[in-house]
Amino acid sequence: MTLFKQATIIGLGLIGSSVARALRENGVCEIIVACDASPECLDKVAELKLADKTEADLQKAVDGSDLVILATPVGTYGDIGQAIGQALDFGATVTDVGSVKGCVLKALSGVLPEHVHLIPGHPVAGTEQSGPEAGFASLFAGRWAILTPPQDADPEAVEKLKKMWEAFGSKVEIMTPEHHDLVLAITSHIPHLIAYNIVGTAHDLEGVTDSEVIKFSAGGFRDFTRIAASDPTMWRDVFLNNKEAVLEMLGRFTEDLTALQRAIRWGDGDALFNLFSHTREVRRQIIEAGQDEEAPDFGRPHEIPPEKQAKD
Ligand SMILES: NC(=O)c1ccc[n+]([C@@H]2O[C@H](COP(=O)([O-])OP(=O)(O)OC[C@H]3O[C@@H](n4cnc5c(N)ncnc54)[C@H](O)[C@@H]3O)[C@@H](O)[C@H]2O)c1
Ligand SMILES: O=C(O)C(=O)C[C@]1(C(=O)O)C=C[C@@H](O)C=C1
């Protein structure tokens, strides 16, 4: 289904390159232009034939495109917006895939011209890997794509973008950026913070325990190390740009952790057992939802091709 004439993707890492593959595989646009700050990345994109054209210059890259997708760390948006603003085609749609949404309008609405449709987006799908080789076309299939259009957004432009994500196999939900950032703070951002912290603490203990923390790391810790291997630049920008929601959710998390600490100290087995039973039920519900085609499937595992999976 051809929805756009020419799509420019800025940032051809894991997500941008997956978008390029999905655009092509599903015939969503006629021409794909790839733009990235890294010459090595653009060389790889050309070698993998992920785009019809590679272009290092931001203004040249967006010229003639009716769709521009930002797929760089969210902290880069302001500078990119400044650079492309005057070069955008009349009536073009500008969207993004960033993990934080409140910051997008703040960074871009002042620097983009009035004639473009700015519709922020976020595919809730990813892996811990980075770069154009890590991407794959089916990354978004069966996953949510969240759009956070401004209140005065053009309904036709929103609908077209919704159709693009649906063509990739995603289910689309529309919400406010504030709601997005609060929900994702607890379901995605804090889990990453916890993983970074526990792996960091364990690494610090290495000296004390004579390397045994890593040597005897059990399944649970290994799962944390996968998440803690995620891209440092991307996640630095997530936390700096979703500060309020993350700090609010972290406050609640810390209170609950203190309650657990107290239960352990005072031997309150019932409190521990009740919480662990409840969380087991949450997991069961998530798995069930993932298997039910009609239900939300946040818990459904990715169909990650074997060659793109984390190596243990
Ligand atoms: N990794 C995930 O699981 C995931 C999931 C959903 C959304 N996201 C979001 O997608 C975006 C990209 O993440 P990723 O995982 O693909 O990262 P990545 O590190 O794999 O790729 C980012 C690419 O952007 C390029 N880049 C950086 N600054 C640039 C600039 N100023 N101009 C042009 N190119 C620039 C880099 O060279 C790199 O090729 C982020 O905003 C992230 O929050 C990531
Ligand atoms: O599966 C993973 O490795 C991810 O971290 C993906 C994940 C997530 O937290 O679920 C990470 C960041 C995103 O913005 C969306 C998805």
Ligand 2 pocket test, candidate residues 74, 99, 297, most atoms within 8 A of CB: 99
- The number of the ligand 2 atom at minimal distance from the alpha carbon of 125 is 16
Q: Give mean pLDDT, residues 113-129.
A: 97
- What is the predicted pLDDT for the residue at 49? 98
For tokens 């063509």, the residue is 167
- What is the predicted pLDDT for the residue at 29? 98
How remote is the CA of residue 98 from the centroid of ligand 1, in Å?
Answer: 8
- What is the predicted pLDDT for the residue at 198? 92
Residue 196: both structure tokens together: 């970074």
Model confidence pLDDT, tens digit, residues 6-28? 999 999 999 999 999 999 999 99
- Residue 153 CB-half CA count within 13 A: 25
Tell me where in the chain the CATH 1.10.3660.10 domain(s) lie: 179-308
The residue whose CA is least distant from atom 32 of ligand 1 is: 37
- What is the predicted pLDDT for the residue at 259? 97
State whether the beta carbon of 128 lies less than 6 angstroms from ligand 2.
yes
**Mean pLDDT score across all residues of the chain:** 92
- The number of the ligand 1 atom at minimal distance from the alpha carbon of 98 is 41
The three-state DSSP-derived secondary structure of the chain is: CCCEEEEEEECCCHHHHHHHHHHHHCCCEEEEEEECCCHHHHHHHHHCCCCCEECCCHHHHHCCCCEEEECCCHHHHHHHHHHHHHHCCCCCEEEECCCCCHHHHHHHCCCCCCCCEECCEEECCCCCCCCCCCCCHHHHCCCEEEECCCCCCCHHHHHHHHHHHHHCCCEEEECCHHHHHHHHHHHHHHHHHHHHHHHHHHHHHHHHHCCHHHHCCCHHHHHHHHHCCCCHHHHHHHHHHCHHHHHHHHHHHHHHHHHHHHHHHCCCHHHHHHHHHHHHHHHHHHHHHHHCCCCCCCCCCCCCCHHHCCCC
Percent pLDDT > 90 in the chain is 83
Distance from C-alpha of 67 to C-alpha of 52, rounded to nearest angstrom? 15
Indicate the burial class of 6 (C-beta count within 10 angstroms; 0-12, 13-18, 19 or more).
buried
Distance from C-alpha of 262 to C-alpha of 193, rounded to nearest angstrom? 23
Say which CATH superfamily domain 4-175 falls into.
Answer: NAD(P)-binding Rossmann-like Domain (3.40.50.720)
State whether the beta carbon of 123 lies less than 6 angstroms from ligand 1.
yes
Look up the CATH architecture of domain 179-308: Orthogonal Bundle (1.10)
Distance from C-alpha of 85 to C-alpha of 67, rounded to nearest angstrom? 13
Residue 99: both structure tokens together: 């993990």
Tell me where in the chain the CATH 3.40.50.720 domain(s) lie: 4-175
Checking if the pLDDT of 194 tops 80, the result is: yes
Instruction: Label residue 287 by pLDDT band (50, 70, 90).
Output: confident
Residue at 33: amino acid letter? V
Checking if the pLDDT of 209 tops 90, the result is: no
- What is the predicted pLDDT for the residue at 304? 75
Bridge pairing between strands 121-123 and 144-147:
antiparallel
Model confidence pLDDT, tens digit, residues 62-114? 999 999 999 999 999 999 999 999 999 999 999 999 999 999 999 999 999 99
Q: Give mean pLDDT, residues 249-254.
A: 96
Instruction: Label residue 279 by pLDDT band (50, 70, 90).
Output: very high
If we measure between CA atoms, which residue out of 180, 177, 194 comes closest to residue 230? 194
**First and final CA of the chain: distance in angstroms?**
39
Q: Give mean pLDDT, residues 202-230.
A: 79
Checking if the pLDDT of 310 tops 70, the result is: no
User: From the centroid of its chain, how far is CA 271?
Assistant: 35
Checking if the pLDDT of 175 tops 90, the result is: yes
Distance from C-alpha of 145 to C-alpha of 171, rounded to nearest angstrom? 6
- What is the predicted pLDDT for the residue at 293? 46
How remote is the CA of residue 162 from the centroid of ligand 1, in Å?
Answer: 21
State whether the beta carbon of 75 lies less than 6 angstroms from ligand 1.
no
